[in-house]
Structures are given as C-alpha cells and as structure tokens.
Amino acid sequence: MRRSAGSEVILFILRYLISCSNQPPFLGSMRMIPAQVQQKLRKARQFLLASNFAQALPRYQKLSQLCSADAVIWFEYGSAAAGLRNRELADRAWQKAIKPIRTIGNPFWIFFDQFFKFFV
C-alpha cells in the first residue's frame, strides 16, 4: 500500500515525538509511567509506527484511561485514530494532548496544533 505525502509527514513527526518523549518539555516521560504501562505503551507504539492502526487504536484507548494526563499518549492515540480515518476521535484525542500545553504556550506544540488543523 502506497502512503500519501501527508501520512509520511505524520509518521516522521510521530517517530520524532516518540524519540523525544523521555526528554523535557514533553509530558510523556517514560520515567513517570509504571513499568507495566511502559510495556503496553511500547507495544502500542510498535503497531502505530508499523501503520497497523487497527491494532494500535484499542491499546491507546486503554492507555489513555490509565494515563489520562499524558499528552504524548493522547497525541499518539489521535494519530492511530487518524490512521483509521476516524477524524472525530483523532480531533478529540489531539485536543486533550494539546490542552495542557496551550496554557504553557510551548511554540513547538502550538506549531503541531496548527499543522494538524491544516493537514488532517
């Protein structure tokens, strides 16, 4: 299956965010997540990065309940939903990811908020 240029950009951004999620200012620090949840998150990320959105989505749904304040999990959950073309769920998840960061005014996240509004 051939991917569109937009989906390639999204996967690039996801890979970058996942690689940075253990470093400030990201809220998805693996150090703050219990080991059992870290294992579930790794599995969900494997499916997400392999574009297996049908397997990733239910895992992120559970992770979002376990770690409801984790912006990176919400972002990745939205990305899995977008991969299945579920725009309503993707938008809700991304809004939850961005909401606490908007108050901080982090320009990196504000850029991605605008990016996803325009391209997705």
Q: Identify the CATH class of 5-119.
A: mainly alpha
Mean residue pLDDT of the chain comes to: 76
Please state the rounded mean pLDDT for residues 44-62: 95
The answer on pLDDT for 21 being more than 60 is no
Instruction: Give the pLDDT of residue 37.
Output: 87
Residue 50: pLDDT band (50, 70, 90) is very high
CA dist 20 and 72 (Å) reads: 10
Instruction: Give the pLDDT of residue 24.
Output: 43
Instruction: Give the pLDDT of residue 113.
Output: 62
SS (H, E, C) the chain: CCCCHHHHHHHHHHHHHHHHCCCCCCCCCHHHCCHHHHHHHHHHHHHHHCCCHHHHHHHHHHHHHHCCCCHHHHHHHHHHHHHCCCHHHHHHHHHHHHHHHHHHCCHHHHHHHHHHHHHC
Q: What is the pTM of this model?
A: 0.65
Q: pLDDT digit string (tens) for 55-113?
A: 999 999 999 999 888 888 998 999 999 999 999 999 899 888 877 655 555 566 566 66
Residues 6+ away with beta carbon under 8 Å from 82: 10, 90, 120
Q: Where are the domains of the chain?
A: 5-119
